[in-house]
Amino acid sequence: MEMIFGFANKIVSFGVPFVVLLGILIFVHELGHFLVARWCGVRVEVFSLGFGKKILKYKKGDTTYALSIVPLGGYVKMFGEQPGDSISEEDKKVSFTHKTVWQRIAVVLAGPLMNFFFAIVVMMAVAMIGEDAKLPVLGDINPKSAAYEAGFRSGDRIISINEKKINTWEEIQKLLSLKQEQDLHLDVVVQHQGSETTSKVAVLAKAEPNPNILSSYNFIANVEGMTAMSSGTTVGVIGNSPLYALGLRTGDSITAINGTKVGYWRDLDSTLAKLNSKEPLTLEVMGKREGDKEDKAITLTMAPLESMKSFNLAALGLESSELYLGKVMENSPAQAAGLKDGDRLVSINNVTLVKWDDVIANIKSFDGKNPVDIKVMREGQNVDLKITPKMTTQMTAAGGEEKRYTIGIAPVANLAFPETIVVRTTNPFEAVVRGTEKTWDFTVMTVMSFVRLFEAKISPKNIGGVISIGQAAGETYKMGITPFLQMMAIISVNLFILNLLPIPVLDGGHLVFYVIEVVKGAPLSLRKMEIAQQVGMALLMSLMVFALFNDFTRLFGL
């Protein structure tokens, strides 16, 4: 019974936002067709949200307005829209087929365009409500990187680049995006963490291929080591740590030390160093214990230890969690070899591991012959294991597929979310500009996703259907009104692009017919249009089945 209630709750939590989101977007799309059809003098017989049997209907004038049982689309039925219908001379003036080709183009184009302009309106609303944006604050800067040598430090806030004021990290990314390969000289004004003064850093940014394959910019100006990402405060607890006995466990995240809030790994030792080791140490942490579904706040207090001369991570038996295993996959080489959740990776083929990238690099270099020697620490003891990696297909961060050797493990994540601010405007004109810019960005990303798909740089496994839309709607709805509206705008732009694809049965297919009619001076034959419609329907159904297959594959982890 509990499982049934849980399933029903999921249906409601995902289904309601999905129906609301899709219903609004379908209404907007069909409203575009309807309004322009009426404006052109076409008689509209049915305006329906949904397909199939009509649940509710209301007739006004010549039009029946209906709500139908299947909420996965909608339609506007216009009088005389089927070529070949027998129509009297009197009715030709309200027949869609008998309107000029330019009027028919306007009616068909109105639906997709309404989705585009609706996305602008939605993003205008987001601009006025406010949206989270990453602060232009640098993350962990490697002391051996070009960024560090130039003068950048972890926690620096970028004030301006080449005299252009910077308010968000997004503005940095746009400023450094390049159409062509060229190095850039950057004069960057930064404010160091904990300081009110600013300083200027001059550096040459090298042009590199843009890792964002959905961008229309082929290159970015990059300073090696310059990043917004930082390690979090999730700890790995060595078995003999005095804090282990008090209840601290690997995977716990420290949120405060003796009342001082900490958010990054780089802050821990500096905060500990300021404390008197002769006084009690109090840690506030977030972590899960057996039976917990969510992290809970835990407070641990350690009495002064005679043997501890000063506080630091090493003395307390703490280290980063990234070499601790958070998950050993079922039926994986790691599980078969005996690796367990919580093991601490020490070395691979006698190469000492320092960070998780070392693990990936060593496993990827497997020669396909001899098993890999892996040493782990488990309950304070070193354990030696032999594992034979297997070739698997992995999804990359860019959405492509990569074949490489893996053993089926994942670390205890230790990544801090960048600081954010709420960006909003009360100026309607600024909201229009912001809404248009964001909608255009979404449009470019959508178009580029199709381009990259045909270039085989994005895996077809990324194609999603109604289940993916439902999940996205449900998740963003739980996050708040702004993420939900942003998702609505993105899907509206997707509908704009998808409906313009030159596939018969879609608006884009009809537009192709009308363009041919303009060029030829006469419409295509009825037989040719029927064949094209059948081919288009077959293509569309195949795409829908493939998208649903991907949805179920992701849903059930197949």
Active site residues: 30
Which residues have CB under 8 Å from 503's CB, separation 6+? 509, 536, 539, 540
Within 10 A of 493 (CB to CB), how many other CB atoms are there? 27
Structure tokens at 169: 């990290």
**What is the CB-side half-sphere exposure of residue 48 using CA atoms within 13 A?**
20
Within 10 A of 131 (CB to CB), how many other CB atoms are there? 19
State how far the Cα of 342 lies from the Cα of 474, in Å rounded to an integer.
33
Structure tokens at 283: 């840690």
Candidates 322, 351, 349; CA nearest to 235 is 322
Structure tokens at 271: 């905060």
Within 10 A of 82 (CB to CB), how many other CB atoms are there? 12
Would you mind telling me the total number of residues written for the chain in this entry? 558
Please tell me whether residue 248 adopts helix, strand or coil conformation.
coil
State how far the Cα of 413 lies from the Cα of 389, in Å rounded to an integer.
22
Candidates 94, 40, 112, 139; CA nearest to 443 is 112
Q: Identify the bridge partners of residue 394 per DSSP, sorted by sequence position.
A: 402
State how far the Cα of 63 lies from the Cα of 22, in Å rounded to an integer.
23
CA angle, residues 403, 465, 2, in degrees to nearest 5: 100
State how far the Cα of 540 lies from the Cα of 503, in Å rounded to an integer.
8
**What is the CB-side half-sphere exposure of residue 223 using CA atoms within 13 A?**
30
> Could you give the C-alpha distances from 246 to 101, 242, 349, 401, in angstroms and in order?
79, 7, 35, 45
DSSP at 293: S
Which residues have CB under 8 Å from 92's CB, separation 6+? 80, 98
Map tokens 């999940």 to a residue.
471
CB 254 within 8 Å of CB 283:
yes
Structure tokens at 79: 């009088």
At 68, which helix (H) or strand (E)?
strand 63-78
**What is the CB-side half-sphere exposure of residue 244 using CA atoms within 13 A?**
14
State how far the Cα of 239 lies from the Cα of 382, in Å rounded to an integer.
12
Which amino acid is residue 101, in one-letter code?
Answer: V
